[in-house]
Amino acid sequence: MFRKRSFFCLSLVIILVLLFQADPISAQTRLRILHVNDFHGYAEPHTPAGIKEKIGGAAYLAARIDALRKENNGNALLLSAGDMIQGHPWANFNEGRAVIELMNAMKFDAMVLGNHEFDFGGKVLEQRIREAKFPVLAANVDGVAGLKPYVIREVGGLRVGLLGIISEQTPELTHPKNVEGIMFLPSDLTVRKYLPELRKKADIIILITHIGYGEDRLLAGKSKGVTAIIGGHSHTKVTGPQVIDGTIILHAWEHGKSVGILDIEIDNGKIISLRGTLEDIKPTGPYRADVASIVSVYEDRLDKAMNMVIGKTGVDLDGRHVRWRETNLGNFIADAMRKNANAEVAFINGGSIRAGIAAGTITIRDIYTVLPFTGYSVVMELRSDEIRTALEHSLAGGEEGSGGFLQVSGMKIDYNPGAAVGSRVKGITVNGAPLDRARKYTVVTSDFLAAGGDGYSFLKAIRQNRVHGQGKDIRDLVMDNIKAQREICPQIEGRMNQQTP
């Protein structure tokens, strides 16, 4: 009996010694990170401008992600770099609930908030966070229930620290009422705060950010010891990822049109290689039937309301260049606002116009795709110098495709894009007459801009004292205008005249 017990104890000791001698990541290991960003509710395959065939589709994306996981023996994480729940009518119609259901079915491991996650308001966002079966991250946000600054995921014996960072400019990128009581802290300071804590808990650290590719490059230089930055916000297609101070930066384009793949090779606890690729998603081959069913259920609900034809257009309506120059679609929307408000001038930020419409019939769905953000017209009284200030701000970031670039009605502007910021406007006429410095003008704009959105903070103070009233939902007044005309054919009219430097 004694010998049997001794043999058992000796055997147990040998087994335990062997177990404790084994380092869980001492052997060569490959971790795979799969990532998407700026999905914006594009669940169905679609044909973007400049592409001749359909691309994307959540059911096909889900199937490809499953295959990529399987290729790496399940040692994979699926991450989102934000702006998932808002943008396309498929998502907007249910305030993003459908997207969270998709993400749950696809088994996302973590997501960082994007600025557009706030577009339905704080309470709706908190409800979406509660519905998510994965952690929602934003270390530099204070005031949203359910958010986590970071999470540690163990994959193949490797502890992966995931830290979320959102743009600190978010209060300017959504309606101010949507972020009341919420604080957004500087990205670099927040990363610096959490890195020491993460280094103690994780073998590698990955930042999931929604600050844009340019800001990610700056952040990489300030974040020593970070393995990778998985980013979004700028809709950048990073086919050849950059490595800055040892940190690889990856973005996966937009709208579920591609999936990013980062393979990390680890040997004896050390990273020996990083390889980032981007794979386009096409609506061919395998697809996930359960995901297709989710898409179909919400699509059917949307179809009943959205497929009604309200008119037609004789020309393509350009929603692609609204952040850089005058477009016929921008003209039409601004004209509809001015007519509805009986104002002298109208302007709307190009960033609120998110798509164009091909020549042919126009449906309610088209208008919701063009104008996905809920917003109302606001009539204000502005002095001539305040109009000039608004136009200078509009042109300040025009070469970068700023969302604050204005589409206008009732006025014409001569400008020099090569002049110094703040002195680019060279001439302004309102309804054919030079801008009169001695008088005020009635101007209709969106409640987003009137509340200081897109950097028009000076309008917020004016709104408190010189608002003539709040008008209709901008989508509704645009649709009313189309219905009244039956067929529209807006043109470029020289409202924004670029002078040669």
- Distance CA(90)–CA(271), nearest Å, equals 41
Contact in structure between 379 and 474 (CB atoms under 8 Å) = no
Phi and psi for 302 in degrees, rounded to 5? -70, -40
Q: Record the pTM.
A: 0.77
Q: What is the 3-state secondary structure (H, E, C) of 306-373?
A: HCCEEEEECCCECCCCCCCCCCHHHHHHHHHHHHHHCCCEEEEEHHHCCCCECCEEEEHHHHHHHCCC
What's the confidence (pLDDT) of residue 133?
98
At 95, list the tokens. 């305030």
- Distance CA(179)–CA(182), nearest Å, equals 5
Cβ contacts of residue 16 below 8 Å, gap of 6+?
A: none
Q: How many residues does the chain have?
A: 501
CA 147 to chain centre: 18
Contact in structure between 166 and 141 (CB atoms under 8 Å) = yes
Contact in structure between 345 and 432 (CB atoms under 8 Å) = no
Nearest to 229 by CA among 237, 239, 240, 244: 244
- Distance CA(338)–CA(355), nearest Å, equals 21
What's the confidence (pLDDT) of residue 27?
60
3-class DSSP assignment, residue 170? helix
Positions of the chain with pLDDT lower than 70, given as ranges: 1-27, 398-399, 463-471, 501
> Which one-letter DSSP state was computed for residue 176?
G
What's the confidence (pLDDT) of residue 29?
86
Domain 307-498 - what CATH class?
A: alpha beta
- Cross-strand partners of 311: 362
Q: What is the DSSP string of 216-277?
A: HHHHHHT-TT--EEEE-SS--B-SS-EEETTEEEEEB-STTSEEEEEEEEEETTEEEEEEEE
What's the confidence (pLDDT) of residue 419?
92
Contact in structure between 410 and 346 (CB atoms under 8 Å) = yes
Query: CA-CA distances (angstroms) from residue 319 to 351, 371, 494, 496?
Result: 10, 10, 17, 16
Residue the block writes with tokens 């930020």? 349
> Which one-letter DSSP state was computed for residue 6?
H
Strands 467-473 and 29-36: unpaired
What's the mean per-residue pLDDT of the chain? 91
What's the confidence (pLDDT) of residue 464?
60
Nearest to 233 by CA among 118, 114, 360: 114
Domain 24-299 - what CATH class?
A: alpha beta
Q: At what angle do helices 474-485 and 328-341 cross, to 10 degrees?
A: 100
- Every domain of the chain with CATH number 3.90.780.10 lies at 307-498
Cβ contacts of residue 112 below 8 Å, gap of 6+?
A: 80, 81, 82, 136, 137, 138, 164, 165, 166, 208, 209, 210, 232
What's the confidence (pLDDT) of residue 57?
98
Cβ contacts of residue 189 below 8 Å, gap of 6+?
A: none
- Every domain of the chain with CATH number 3.60.21.10 lies at 24-299
